[in-house]
């Protein structure tokens, strides 16, 4: 009651009067006259079918694959036909339900629905991108629901606006987590985010009840209710199989016959999908930082092999598992990069040791892995064979860097706290060895020139190597602490607290890992475009500094030649006096050359802010855009390098060389502008192209650069 009152008091969404709903929740649901469902998979199709049958509303089913839509409708026909044959519904009712479902490949077709339910895979970035677009496409009164089983509703809601104080769209976001199979299971979890309004909550509850479901309210906490309870149960069953506690049938039979559940945990895992189980366990583990949610090694390996359960025809019951104590062997071609990178280090199957003996072995394994990973990142052609692709690299990099921060924090606290507990340290180190470090390195290796540019690949690999270096430093300090504790134990002395200086050493090492992880998270968040913007701005500053230096340079100012004269004999000095008779003419020529140089370099310097403001800030990453970015960076990087040569030649009074590098500088700038005359992604509509300020700017710029370059056109020394 108290929490409900607090929600009403603190988190008020838009006034209910601003919507086309009346004031009671029942009335809200009654006015939901149409539904949109995104995702034509098993869950999405089930939701669409139940809404068409029970709530009797027209449903628009959206997917980006026509094959998935066709497959979904075929399955719906099969389910309806089965209900008719068993006399659960009449033929007319089946035909009416089927007629209410229409399909589309365009999310824009949700522009007139009252309620939307997203049912795509558990990929945070995918869901947030969908809701970002939904906020623009769906009507301003529509409820925006997600079927997520574990991802924060608050985070999803935040993706619908760029202004955290604007609750117009976020207040309409909620989770309606249906259970699988949707036509059979009555339970639906309803989860509100921090931004969700009470009106949205009431509407969602009433609408799922109209679909014949029973609503249960959960807080926006990792895993919510169902998966917070269910997934550790399934994971523990898999661990029992993996470690030989029991066989497959024994595990399922005891739970079915001993606890009266309809199916055993391994059968249930196959039915849900092992990839889904793993994704949820990973979210629970990362969000809570609790080792009890660490996914089973066998579960990870089966997903890596592509054995997802019923959906793929292979799982615990669709494939042979030779023995409970010996998980199925996976061919090298099928293994995920985690197994490739930890060759011959099958930690889950090591013999049972006393914890005091296991700690140094596990710590040594961590150190060895970090060193091997550093070497792997230094190999230019190392790219993991993995179920992930380049597009997954940055979310994976951010998640693994965040997880690494959590694990090293635990490890450092264990190291500086007395008494030292090897068992807890082994648990943290096992997380590092089995999951966190391999995933971090895999993510870094998935950054490739094709998806992210060669420069960005190098940046991420170098930053990851730096992170591993800091991890190694921390592990070394932990090793020193453990050695001290071990010596005290061998001497049968009472374990002493660490001195403050010793604690500080561990804390500082941990802080350096944190800093490295924060840099990785920031780089992943800003992506390739953010990286390119930063580099372009750095080169812009170099160009500005060089231009200012040339502006401040006075050709008549005495330089090193003044000191040469002081050290020379009289005859040489007289000779110089004779040579300097034409000094006034030389000085005038140098002033003119300086003027020409600056007239060319100043418009060149204007290219950088124009490209950033009108092209990079608006770029949407794609393989085609990345390819253009690589070419653009190559040209913009050469400009400050060429200007250095221009300045040096000018100071040396070598106008031929100066002209040569001025030409090169101009050519690079022209090529850069030509590369981005049209928007990087080539997807702008006619109105956007009409409003594009860069096009007229580039035309004017081309005229200016050609005009100011006339003094160097046709000069000797050009290439």
CATH number reported for the structural domain that contains residue 487 in this entry: 1.20.1420.10
Q: Which residues contact 249 (CB under 8 A, 6 or more apart)?
A: none
pLDDT tens sequence across 133-142: 999 999 999 9
Active site residue 189: yes
* The one catalytic residue among 177, 285, 336, 452: 177
Check if the beta carbon of residue 582 is closer than 8 Å to that of residue 691.
Answer: no
374, 380, 381, 382: CA torsion to nearest 10: 10
**Could you tell me which of 717, 606, 629, 641 has the C-alpha nearest to residue 680?**
629
Same domain, 157 and 247: no
Active site residue 549: no
Check if the beta carbon of residue 172 is closer than 8 Å to that of residue 197.
Answer: yes
**Could you tell me which of 469, 468, 645, 436 has the C-alpha nearest to residue 546?**
645
Out of 335, 364, 394, a domain closes at 335
Active site residue 614: no
Whole-number percent of the chain with pLDDT over 70 = 82
pLDDT at 125: 87
pLDDT band at 453 (very low <50, low <70, confident <90, very high): confident
**Total domains in the fold of the chain:** 4
pLDDT tens sequence across 538-568: 899 999 998 998 988 887 664 444 434 444 4
DSSP label at 175?
A: E
Same domain, 293 and 423: no
Task: Count CB neighbours of 154 within 10 A.
Answer: 16
Within-domain flag for 718: no
Same domain, 324 and 258: yes
Is the omega angle on the peptide bond into residue 419 within 30 degrees of 0, that is, cis? yes
Within-domain flag for 652: yes
Out of 150, 183, 218, a domain closes at 218
pLDDT at 390: 57
pLDDT tens sequence across 220-246: 888 889 889 999 999 999 999 988 888
* The one catalytic residue among 25, 149, 150, 427: 149
Please report the DSSP string for 17-48 in residue order: GGSS--SSHHHHHHT---EEEE--SHHHHHHH
Residue 154 has pLDDT above 90, yes or no: yes
Weakest mean pLDDT among 71-85, 246-260, 347-361, 659-673: 347-361
Same domain, 28 and 176: yes
Check if the beta carbon of residue 189 is closer than 8 Å to that of residue 161.
Answer: no
Cα three-residue angle 214-218-221, rounded to 5 degrees: 150
pLDDT at 374: 86
Active site residue 572: no
Weakest mean pLDDT among 471-475, 611-615, 620-624: 620-624
Which residue in the block uniquely carries the two structure tokens 């050009």?
A: 718
Measured CA to CA, the distance from residue 545 to residue 290 in angstroms comes to 51
- pTM (two decimals): 0.45
pLDDT band at 18 (very low <50, low <70, confident <90, very high): very low
pLDDT at 688: 57
Report, as an integer, the average pLDDT of 678-703: 76
pLDDT band at 422 (very low <50, low <70, confident <90, very high): confident
Measured CA to CA, the distance from residue 342 to residue 340 in angstroms comes to 6
* The one catalytic residue among 175, 192, 227, 430: 227
CATH number reported for the structural domain that contains residue 245 in this entry: 1.10.1040.50
* The one catalytic residue among 118, 122, 189, 459: 189
pLDDT at 449: 82
Report, as an integer, the average pLDDT of 465-478: 93
Measured CA to CA, the distance from residue 212 to residue 588 in angstroms comes to 91
- Pairing mode, if any, of strands 115-118 and 101-104? unpaired
State how far the alpha carbon of 154 is from the alpha carbons of 131, 173, 206, 207, 716, in Å: 12, 8, 21, 21, 65
Within-domain flag for 268: yes
Same domain, 639 and 698: yes
Within-domain flag for 468: yes
Q: Which residues contact 297 (CB under 8 A, 6 or more apart)?
A: 242, 347, 348, 434
Residue 373 has pLDDT above 80, yes or no: yes
Residue 130 has pLDDT above 90, yes or no: yes
- DSSP H or E run through 168: none
Same domain, 640 and 511: no
pLDDT band at 689 (very low <50, low <70, confident <90, very high): low
Same domain, 302 and 199: no
pLDDT tens sequence across 382-404: 554 444 455 668 888 999 999 99
Domain carrying residue 432: 349-522
* Residue-averaged pLDDT of the chain: 81
Kindly report the length of the chain: 719
Same domain, 182 and 292: no
Report, as an integer, the average pLDDT of 661-678: 91
Within-domain flag for 282: yes
**Could you tell me which of 372, 385, 509 has the C-alpha nearest to residue 437?**
372
Q: Which residues contact 353 (CB under 8 A, 6 or more apart)?
A: 361
Same domain, 31 and 141: yes
Within-domain flag for 493: yes
Report, as an integer, the average pLDDT of 483-497: 79
């Amino acid at each position: 009651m108290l929490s409900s009152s607090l929600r009403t008091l603190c988190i008020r969404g838009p006034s209910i009067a601003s919507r086309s709903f009346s004031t009671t929740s029942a009335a809200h649901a009654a006015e939901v006259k149409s539904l949109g469902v995104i995702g034509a998979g098993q869950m999405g199709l089930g939701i669409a079918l139940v809404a068409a049958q029970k709530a009797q509303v027209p449903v628009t089913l959206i997917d980006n694959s026509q094959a998935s839509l066709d497959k979904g409708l075929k399955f719906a026909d099969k389910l309806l036909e089965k209900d008719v044959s068993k006399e659960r519904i009449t033929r007319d009712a089946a035909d009416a339900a089927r007629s209410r479902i229409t399909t589309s490949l365009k999310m824009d077709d949700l522009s007139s629905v009252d309620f939307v339910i997203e049912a795509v895979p558990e990929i945070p970035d995918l869901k947030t991108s969908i809701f970002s677009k939904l906020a623009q496409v769906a009507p301003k009164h529509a409820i925006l629901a997600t079927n997520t089983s574990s991802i924060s509703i608050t985070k999803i809601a935040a993706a619908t606006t760029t202004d955290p104080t604007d609750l117009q769209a976020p207040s309409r976001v909620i989770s309606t987590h249906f259970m699988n199979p949707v036509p059979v299971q009555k339970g639906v979890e309803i989860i509100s985010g921090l931004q969700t309004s009470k009106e949205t909550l009431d509407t969602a509850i009433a609408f799922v009840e109209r679909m014949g479901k029973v609503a249960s309210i959960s807080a926006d906490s990792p895993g919510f209710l169902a998966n917070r309870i269910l997934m550790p149960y399934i994971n523990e069953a898999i661990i029992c199989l993996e470690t030989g506690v029991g066989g497959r049938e024994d595990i399922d039979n005891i739970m079915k016959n001993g606890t009266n559940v309809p199916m055993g945990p391994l059968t249930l895992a196959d039915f849900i999908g092992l990839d889904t189980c793993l994704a949820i366990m990973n979210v629970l583990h990362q969000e809570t930082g609790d080792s009890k949610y660490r996914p089973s090694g066998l579960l990870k390996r089966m997903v890596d092999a592509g054995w997802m359960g019923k959906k793929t025809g292979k799982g615990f019951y669709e494939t042979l598992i030779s023995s409970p104590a010996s998980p199925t062997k996976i061919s090298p071609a099928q293994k995920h990069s985690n197994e490739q990178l930890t060759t011959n280090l099958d930690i889950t199957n090591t013999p049972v040791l006393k914890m005091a003996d296991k700690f140094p072995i596990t710590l040594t394994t961590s150190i060895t892995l970090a060193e091997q990973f550093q070497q792997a990142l230094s190999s230019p052609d190392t790219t993991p064979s993995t179920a992930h692709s380049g597009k997954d690299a940055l979310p994976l990099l951010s998640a693994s860097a965040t997880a690494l921060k959590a694990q090293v924090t635990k490890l450092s606290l264990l190291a500086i706290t007395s008494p030292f507990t090897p068992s807890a340290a082994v648990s943290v180190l096992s997380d590092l060895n089995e999951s966190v470090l391999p995933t971090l390195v895999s993510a870094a290796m998935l950054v490739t020139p094709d998806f992210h540019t060669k420069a960005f690949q190098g940046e991420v690999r170098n930053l990851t190597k730096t992170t591993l270096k800091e991890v190694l430093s921390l592990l070394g300090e932990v090793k020193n602490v453990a050695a001290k504790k071990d010596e005290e134990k061998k001497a049968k002395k009472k374990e002493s607290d660490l001195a403050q200086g010793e604690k500080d050493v561990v804390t500082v090492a941990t802080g350096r890992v944190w800093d490295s992880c924060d840099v990785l998270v920031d780089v992943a968040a800003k992506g390739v475009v953010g990286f390119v913007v930063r580099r372009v701005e750095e080169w812009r500053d170099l160009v500005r500094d060089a231009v200012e230096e040339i502006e401040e340079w006075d050709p008549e100012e005495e330089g090193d030649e003044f000191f040469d004269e002081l050290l020379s004999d009289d005859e040489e000095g007289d000779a110089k006096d004779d040579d300097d008779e034409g000094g006034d003419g030389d000085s005038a020529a140098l002033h003119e050359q300086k003027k020409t140089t600056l007239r060319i370099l100043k418009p060149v310097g204007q290219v950088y802010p124009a490209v950033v403001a009108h092209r990079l800030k608006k770029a949407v990453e794609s393989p085609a855009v990345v390819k253009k970015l690589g070419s653009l960076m190559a040209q913009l990087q050469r400009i400050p390098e060429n200007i250095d040569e221009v300045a040096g030649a000018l100071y040396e009074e070598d106008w031929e060389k100066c002209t040569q590098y001025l030409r090169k500088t101009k050519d690079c700038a022209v090529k850069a502008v030509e590369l981005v005359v049209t928007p990087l992604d080539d997807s702008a509509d006619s109105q956007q192209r009409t409003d594009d300020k860069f096009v007229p700017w580039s035309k004017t710029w081309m005229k200016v650069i050609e005009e100011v370059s006339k003094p160097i056109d046709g000069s000797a020394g050009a290439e």
